[in-house]
A and B are shown apart, each in its own frame.
Chain A
Amino acid sequence: MGLRVVTEKRVRVPVWLEVLVPVGAVMGALIAGAVLLALLGVSPLAAYAAMLRGSLGDWYGISETLVKAVPLTLAGLAVALSFRMQVWNIGAEGQLYMGALAAAAAVRFAFVDNSLVMFCLMAGAAALAGGTWGAFAGYLKARWNVNEIITTLMLNYIAIHAVDYFVYGPWKDPASLGFPMTASFPAAARLPQFFDSRVHLGIFFAVVFAVLFHIVFRWTKWGFEVRVIGANPKAAQYAGINFLRNAVLVMFVSGAVAGFSGMCEMAGLQGRLQHGFSPGYGYTAIIVAWLARLNPLALMGVAFLLGALLVGGDTLQVVMRLPLSSIQVLQGLILFAVLGAEYFLTYRVRFIRSVPDSPKEVD
């Protein structure tokens, strides 16, 4: 008697499995990370304990986690929208930078001493700039089939250098002692912070947008069209769904949300535009979106977890002198593990006992 492994495609995915797979994947990644830490001569238990204490151990840690969850949720939604349509927007990072750049331009050239008016101006500028950045790649993709993965990625580099051009050059604060940043914004161009912490107004919009995206995906015709194109572009074409219009629109909305998140990050936290203000939120957002299986509501929870990971990473840097890149390694491992674990969502693996004296099957 021997054991035979049989894999078969699942017809339906049980709910418990849909939860178990990402949780198990994160666990697996943490274990792999622990091995790596041990190889580096760092005690993995001490490192993970420090991360947990730093991120969720007290109110300060939790509030910092929330602060990081805001851009991760918003940029994650941006990524999830385009991924649903199988348009691979890897450019959330660049759209985020463009949004912040445009909002900073609004503060510089169209300042109004009224918080509400200024917020609308900054949000509008950021959404328009991020949206244009995304729609450009979307149009090239839809009209001439220019690979959007590459264009959005190249646009990231261009956007980061564009911000650098301004903060090292014409917009640099003369009083900044050489640091590449603009002057501090006036109070009206900042987002209010709550709870005696750095948690800012952006958190409200992160939740609102997540719910809004959920409604759009679930109950609107447009959300349905996007899903159909993603699931089967040919069928979508036969159904008369316009690919060009949808691709441009999806990439515009995606870029606009990412741009908005860049504005929130800048106006809610630093209160000025500065070099490298995002530690790769646009890339981490890809993990957030994928881990949440592109579900907007689940995305908020995942963003919180990855926010905790980032805050924990800051703690690691201070306490154990491990660089931020160790968190990047962990992020890569998580994504690997999730991709590997997803196999069990599509396929069912069974062990079958093969009985020697059973009648042979006739083909």
Chain B
Amino acid sequence: MEMLVPILAAAVRSGTPILYATLGEILTERSGILNLGLEGLMLVGAFTGFSVASGTGNAWLGIAAAFLSGCLLALVHAFLCITGRANQVVSGLALTMFGTGLSSLLGRGFIGETILGIGGMTIPLLSEIPVLGPTFFDQDPLVYLSYGLAVFLTWFLWSTRAGLALRAVGDAPRVVDAMGLSSTRLRYLYTVIGGGIVAVGGAYMSVVYTKMWGDLMTAGRGWIAVALVIFAIWHPLRAVGGAYLFGGVGALQLRIQAAGTSIPAPLLLMLPYVFTIFVLFVISVRKGKGILLGAPASLGQPYHREERD
């Protein structure tokens, strides 16, 4: 059991960027907007976070700036999809291309630089619980923040009026409009905030996890998060388990590589992607043909209050 602890702790750490991205996307998709631009948002977040942290010497400022950069990019997606009623799949892809290119264009000057970033913070008492303590409570502040965010979102979605409105706008925007709330405004709000949270996931990678900037450093984690939203059936708490499961696969792969195995690196690198397809397959089969439990009913569909469906 003692041997497992470092792996479990590493799973939580490497799952955290995926967790932020998944939580952000759950918020966005709950409002009925599909944002496939997570990979681009995360990369821009990672770059913004790193460059601001490096420039100001304040890592928290970097995280805040990353959040804002994500909001700004998601606003473009929101404008095209909500006001312009554009195809959400294609707009998300555009966001990924743009974000990937932009981060690598602007990030050239930062390659090889390292920062202090945000260090660890052990929580007294809780961290002394065997196994669970060092796994969950001997981490960094942003990990704790992500626990809080998952719990907060769960409470928000199912115990508040605003949460009810959010779930309603994802299922039936027309009803929300009839209730006298603006579905347009709600969708803008949650797409933008969701984008910000996704970008924080990217910033976690550069500011906390690796403390450096690397071109394309998210390596598909944004797409894995898109799959995780389905795995989590749009529920923030289930996203936590899913993110650590994937974090565990990533951590395990690194450990096998470090241990000097005879398995060639490209085969090990495939692991998370194969695992994603496998997990997605298992859930989809279990849920039965065509039934997506928990999926917002109007997800991905353009809506116009003056037109008939």
**A: contact size bracket:** 35 or more
* A325-B80 in contact given A146-B281, A335-B93, A346-B85 (Cβ < 8 Å): no
- Which residues between 98 and 138 of chain A lie within 8 Å of chain B, taking CB atoms? none
Per-position 1/0 for A128-160, Cβ under 8 A of B: 000000000000100111110111011101100
CA distance A274 to B266 in the complex (A): 14
Residues of A within 8 A of B40 (CB): 332
Q: Tell yes or no: A290 within 8 A of B by CB.
A: yes
CA distance A325 to B103 in the complex (A): 9
Q: Is the CB of B270 within 8 A of A158?
A: yes
Per-position 1/0 for B50-79, Cβ under 8 A of A: 000000000000000000000000001001
Per-position 1/0 for A323-335, Cβ under 8 A of B: 1011111111101
Residues of B within 8 A of A151 (CB): 277, 280
* A339-B274 in contact given A144-B285, A145-B284, A323-B108 (Cβ < 8 Å): no
Residues of B within 8 A of A146 (CB): 277, 280-281, 284
Q: Is the CB of A336 within 8 A of B276?
A: no
Q: Is the CB of A161 within 8 A of B101?
A: no
Per-position 1/0 for B96-112, Cβ under 8 A of A: 11111110110010000
Q: How far is the CB of B142 from chain A (nearest CB, A)?
A: 26
Residues of B within 8 A of A149 (CB): 36, 89, 226
Residues of B within 8 A of A9 (CB): 307
CA distance A181 to B273 in the complex (A): 24
CA distance A146 to B87 in the complex (A): 20
- Which residues between 156 and 192 of chain B lie within 8 Å of chain A, taking CB atoms? none
Q: Tell yes or no: B269 within 8 A of A by CB.
A: yes
Q: Is the CB of B267 within 8 A of A165?
A: yes
Residue of chain A at shortest CB distance from B94: A335
* A154-B273 in contact given A144-B289, A339-B94 (Cβ < 8 Å): yes
Q: Tell yes or no: A168 within 8 A of B by CB.
A: yes
Q: Is the CB of A286 within 8 A of B93?
A: yes
Q: Is the CB of A333 within 8 A of B91?
A: no
Q: Tell yes or no: A90 within 8 A of B by CB.
A: yes
CA distance A234 to B281 in the complex (A): 24
Residue of chain B at shortest CB distance from A94: B273
Q: Tell yes or no: A171 within 8 A of B by CB.
A: no
* A162-B280 in contact given A331-B97, A336-B76, A340-B80 (Cβ < 8 Å): no
* A339-B90 in contact given A323-B108, A328-B104 (Cβ < 8 Å): yes
Residues of A within 8 A of B101 (CB): 325-332
Q: Tell yes or no: A217 within 8 A of B by CB.
A: no
Query: Interface residues, chain B, CB within 8 Å of chain A?
Result: 36, 40, 76, 79-80, 84-87, 89-91, 93-102, 104-105, 108, 220, 223, 226-227, 230, 264-267, 269-270, 273-274, 276-277, 280-281, 284-285, 287, 289-292, 307
Sampled A-B contacts (15; CB under 8 Å)? A90-B93, A143-B289, A149-B89, A150-B227, A153-B223, A154-B220, A158-B273, A164-B266, A283-B93, A325-B101, A329-B102, A335-B94, A336-B80, A336-B98, A342-B84
Closest 9 CB pairs of A and B: A332-B98, A328-B101, A335-B94, A329-B101, A332-B97, A325-B104, A339-B86, A165-B266, A164-B266
